[in-house]
Amino acid sequence: MPLGKEDVQSIRADLADLTLFEAMLKQKGIDGLIIACDDCNEDHRNSWADLIGNMIRLLAGETIAPGHGSSDGTYVTWDWCRGYAAAYSSDVPRYTS
Ligand SMILES: [Zn+2]
């Protein structure tokens, strides 16, 4: 099934986020993301390399297999990364309570 224009845009946005998250977080000892799996209703750990590789395969029109790896390491959620990136970025206004 060919990707629509919006699909491509959203995958590109995810890919940009993942690249940023990996650059920020790998050095902090975070190995990848916990992704909720639609197939088995469980959370799976996906390494940065797997996640980025999957996005690139999607953009190339290939199908991907969901990551079912159980590698050891420290994994965080996508939302956690977004919050971290927002706090990290100097472009984001800092609010004080
Ligand atoms: Zn699964």
**How do residues 32-58 score in pLDDT, each as one tens digit?**
999 888 888 888 899 999 999 999 999
Backbone angles phi, psi at 86, to 5 degrees: -65, -40
Ligand 1 centre to CA of 35 (Å) is 9
Ligand 1 centre to CA of 21 (Å) is 23
Question: How many domains would you assign to the chain?
Answer: 1
Cα–Cα dist 7/83, whole Å = 24
Ligand 1 centre to CA of 31 (Å) is 19
Indicate whether 93 belongs to any domain: no
Indicate whether 38 belongs to any domain: yes
The residue segments making up the domain with residue 75 are: 5-88
Query: 18-32 burial by CB neighbour count: b if 16+ within 10 A, else e?
Result: beebbeebeeeebbb
pLDDT tens, 11-31? 999 999 999 999 999 999 999
Indicate whether 94 belongs to any domain: no
Indicate whether 96 belongs to any domain: no
Question: Could you tell me the pTM of the whole model?
Answer: 0.80
